[in-house]
A and B are shown apart, each in its own frame.
Chain A
Amino acid sequence: MVYSEECAIIFRLKGILEFACQLDNPNAGSQSQSTISKSFQGLRSKVSSKNIVFTVCNSPILIWPNTGFQSSMESLTEASACGDILQYIESDDGGSKKTLKKKDKKRSGHTVVNLKLLFEVTDPAGNEAPSLIRVDTQQHCVKMPLHLDCVLSVTTEESLASVCTGLVETLRKQLAEMEEVVQRYRKGSSFLVPQPFHFQLPEPAGLTTVIYPAGVPDSQLQAIREDLHRKFELPSDRPYLRRANAFHFPDVAYKDGYLRNPHIHLNPPNIEDAKLYLVQGVYIYHHYMQDRVDDDGWGCAYRSLQTICSWFQQQGYVETAVPTHTQIQQALVDVGDKEPRFVGSRQWIGSIEVQVVLNQLLGVTSKILFVSQGSELATKGRELANHFQTEGTPVMIGGGVLAHTILGVAWSENSGQIRFLILDPHYTGGEDLQTITDKGWCGWKGPEFWDQNAYYNLCLPQRPKTI
């Protein structure tokens, strides 16, 4: 993925607004519709009111965007560059209260400023003492939390005032889109909660937010995605807008503890004239000893297969979890490829088994590439380059007594020089990025890496043509 150079800061505003309404008769179509509309109108007014406050997380900054821009910091006015906010933000990893460093720009090139939406209750319009108003009609009372999540990509020079106006506009727009989703999916008194997802789409769309109804699986949202693919002029054969494709904010840690895409931390090899052809998207590094499974010495192909399965899961092609060794073995038994006693054994598998399992569990087809000698792999530059360009999936390679995953090639069409980006499943340590990259568990290797005399089979998984 290529991030636009211009967008240096992403402002992310999150907050919860409770949607509430009373319906006399939930099955009376247009009447309920207009009641729901009125409630959403009320929420839109609320975010345009002078009572909303943005608080910048991990900082003492408070901003009232709708009252002629009030801020709790004298040095931050409406004309200040929004980049000035960064110096007031405390970084998350402990540190003293005086940290003034700008957040490190990670490889992604984005700095994220998190804001929270609050409402002031102490600046009322009048001072009328409270009343109690009772209504005695039987009604259906509907309540649901709307988790607002708005993003705005700007350059550091953009003024704070324009950022705040932009965020308020985005809030209103998000509420309107949420209303649309709520109305569309409502059945009588059953309301589905609208949830925002952010996607990094190719320019000019950029970081885009889509609202999906909770509880409706991706498979049932095909038509919505088709419309959006048309709207954003996205290719119609690969997923961009499945929930799994949601943009991962650089400041949010993954909850599962696995490493993703360790290869991005490597420097590419220095070959004259060579172009890089790499895996596209996100995969998880699976290796020996993970998940408390001791597969040291026999599980390398299983781990490579897990890495490939993770790719299909992360790109949104499948919703199922990455299979365990046992599930992989069971799949092979289920198709009749292996005897039942295979399950629970420590028997190796090869590329063919990988192909079979990918088909059985994920519905993914794969091409098999055979080389009779390891030395021949050096000549497969064009084919591998093509694979990474069109399919972009990780490749499992088995031969000799080892299995590995190929994540890409650096190949010169002129000189034929080639290097292979290898992800090694034989690593037995913890999820330590430093060790993995330093010691070459994920690294660039030359053609001499392969056993020159052994034969190899490569499994090249093909992307399903679906969105």
Chain B
Amino acid sequence: MGRSYFVDETVEKYLGGLLADPGSCVTGFLAGQSSPQRDFVVLAVQTPQRESEGQLKSSRGSGPLDDIDVEWVTEHARQVSRMLPGGLCILGLFLVTPPELSKDAQNTLKRLIFAMDKCISKGRLWELTEEDVTDRVTLHICSKTKKTVCKTLDVKDPKSSAKPADWKYQTCVSSSWPMLTCSVEVDLQIPLTGSSSDNTDKCMKDCLTRWAKQIEAGNCLISGRQALDDSELISAQKKNLKTTHRQTFPARILVSDPELDERSSALVQLCSGSVRVRGVVHCRAYIHNNKPKARHAVQAIKRDIINTVSSRVEMFLEDLLISEGSRKGLCTGQQALPRRVFAPMPFSGLSVCDYMFPDESTADVADRLKEMLDWETPEEDIDISLESNQLFSPELEMTDSHSDDSRKHVISEVQVENPHIHKAPQYYAGVAVAATIALLATATSLLYFSE
């Protein structure tokens, strides 16, 4: 018995409206939520065109399928997965091909799915559990007949073959999905051992991983109640059958400091410096409304908390790499991490998020949303109020008191310079990390960097 995908009819409309040049293919991702019994698809977005002139494409393959830039497709999916709040993720990919290429479509989809999963799971700080669904959906559409073939592949098992799955369209799949929200205070002190910036990245990743485990192990209260057992999220008495609006449940997370090894003396490391990540992150997660279990909702919000912090740090470091041009690493002082802003998701009424750097505006966010989600968002619909701008304060407690003066000096220096020079859409910056070496080697002019 294969999996069942319940797909919002707005997705059907979108897929039907895709224009493919005759003979060429269109790729894109499908997003939604998986539950042990069934899956829900609420969003489909085609891969954006790669805007590059004179891009040297080695035509090794014979035909459009081979020309599909796997890296580009997966990078798009990776960037979008950062924009999805908790509970939602990339469920799979679709591929539109002309009839003559249909027979090879499945192979291409398989290649893409595995590459994409690998790309997305790289930066993840939490582990998959047994209950997590590892099937990804592949949807093949014939551009002439509009016939769809839906299959699933288990990314846990590269040798497995695709299994057939049901693809059913429904109205308003996610309109009454409950939403969990919380604001989480983060204050991580990360000592840096060694001085290379690779080392810095590793120290930060280790510390963030430990913090992620703390969050995962924490107690979670939803609307004041702990999800202690296999209980349902919405108890019978609270179910309001007439509700059409989305219920919001505030979540509270309680943690304890991690249990380190039994030791009789403190761990002392000689550090070349330290990094502190401090501030408040606003988190959101959605859960399907087909008798959801409280613990799945808890897992969704916890993962969102972890993802939002690790995504921003990752993005900040990627951005630094681009604007600095070399592995100089973090400069001293306080630097703002990108702020999380929310916008309505195309069609479904759920929200997506984006990260706004200090020198950006809602116009930049709108541009990115158009780029990544193929969707026009009016600027007034972008909610930037949930996280406020960082204050640069010299009262932040840091180290030995004697360094007060030098610290103030450093911070004021930083305020004068503006490390964020780039104004290019986020997407391009991310891809450039991977492609930098190749591009520099070919000495192609970097059209998307502005100075």
Contact = CB atoms under 8 A, between A and B. Distances in A.
B184 A131 contact: no
A38 B402 CA distance: 13
A127 B280 contact: yes
A136 B334 CA distance: 12
Given A24-B400, A131-B334, A143 B267 contact: yes
Interface stretch (B72-80, B157-165, B252-260): B252-260
A141 B271 contact: yes
**Interface size band for B:** 35 or more
Interface string A201-223: 00000000000001100000000
A129 B331 contact: no
B238 interface: no
B353 interface: no
B387 to A, nearest CB: 4
B274 interface: yes
A133 B399 CA distance: 12
A183 B186 CA distance: 29
Interface in B195-237: 215, 218-219, 221, 224-226, 228
A24 B399 contact: yes
Interface in A184-238: 189-193, 214-215
Interface string B262-287: 01111111111111111111100000
Contacts of B279: 128-131
Contacts of B407: 135
Interface string A115-151: 0111111111111111111111111111111000000
B386 interface: yes
A24 B402 CA distance: 10
A379 interface: no
Given A126-B388, A130-B186, A214-B265, A135 B254 contact: no
A23 B400 contact: yes
B275 A121 contact: no
A191 B330 contact: no
Contacts of A18: 257-258, 260
B265 A193 contact: yes
A135 B399 contact: yes
A22 interface: yes
Contacts of A140: 268-271
B397 A42 contact: yes
Interface residues of A, number: 57
B339 interface: yes
A123 B333 CA distance: 27
Contact of B268 (A31, A34, A126, A141): A141
**Which of A18, A24, A143 lies at the interface centre, i.e. has the most chain B CB atoms within 10 A of its CB?**
A143
Interface in B313-341: 313, 316, 330-340
Nearest to A117: B256
Interface string A1-44: 00000000000000111111011101000010011001000100
A70 to B, nearest CB: 10
B200 to A, nearest CB: 9
Contacts of A123: 183, 185, 252
A186 B392 CA distance: 35
B347 to A, nearest CB: 28
A344 interface: no
A129 B280 contact: yes
B391 interface: yes
A134 B188 CA distance: 12
A136 B338 CA distance: 22
A260 B47 CA distance: 72
A133 B334 contact: yes
A117 to B, nearest CB: 7
B271 A138 contact: yes
B254 A191 contact: no
B275 A133 contact: yes
A31 B400 contact: yes
Contact of A62 (B226, B267, B386, B402): B226
Nearest to B283: A122
A60 interface: yes
Contacts of B335: 131-134
Contact of A121 (B185, B228, B332): B185
Contact of B273 (A19, A136, A191): A136
B140 interface: no
Q: Secondary structure at chain A's binding surface: helix, strand, loop or mixed?
A: strand
Nearest to A70: B224
A24 B254 contact: no
A128 B266 contact: no
Contact of B396 (A16, A22, A133): A133
A22 B274 contact: yes
A122 B142 CA distance: 48
A53 interface: yes
B110 interface: no
Nearest to A31: B400
Contacts of B399: 22, 24, 35, 135, 137, 139
B309 interface: yes
B191 interface: yes
A91 interface: no
A55 interface: yes
B68 interface: no
A137 B273 contact: yes
Given A140-B271, A191-B266, A131 B278 contact: yes
Contacts of B386: 127
A132 B312 CA distance: 10
Nearest to A195: B264
B388 A127 contact: yes
Interface string A37-61: 0100010000000000101000010
Contacts of B338: 129
Contacts of B272: 136, 138
A143 B224 contact: no
A72 B224 contact: yes
A22 B192 CA distance: 11
Contact of B316 (A53, A132, A139): A132
Nearest to B260: A145
A121 B335 CA distance: 23
Nearest to B411: A133
B273 A192 contact: no
Nearest to B356: A129
20 contacts: A22-B191, A22-B271, A24-B402, A24-B403, A60-B228, A117-B256, A120-B254, A121-B254, A122-B252, A123-B183, A124-B185, A128-B387, A128-B389, A129-B340, A129-B387, A130-B277, A130-B337, A133-B396, A143-B260, A144-B266
Given A20-B189, A139-B270, A141-B191, 7 more contacts: A117-B256, A124-B184, A127-B282, A127-B386, A132-B275, A137-B399, A143-B267
Interface of A: 15-20, 22-24, 26, 31, 34-35, 38, 42, 53, 55, 60, 62, 72, 116-145, 189-193, 214-215
3 nearest CB pairs, A to B: A130-B279, A215-B264, A144-B266
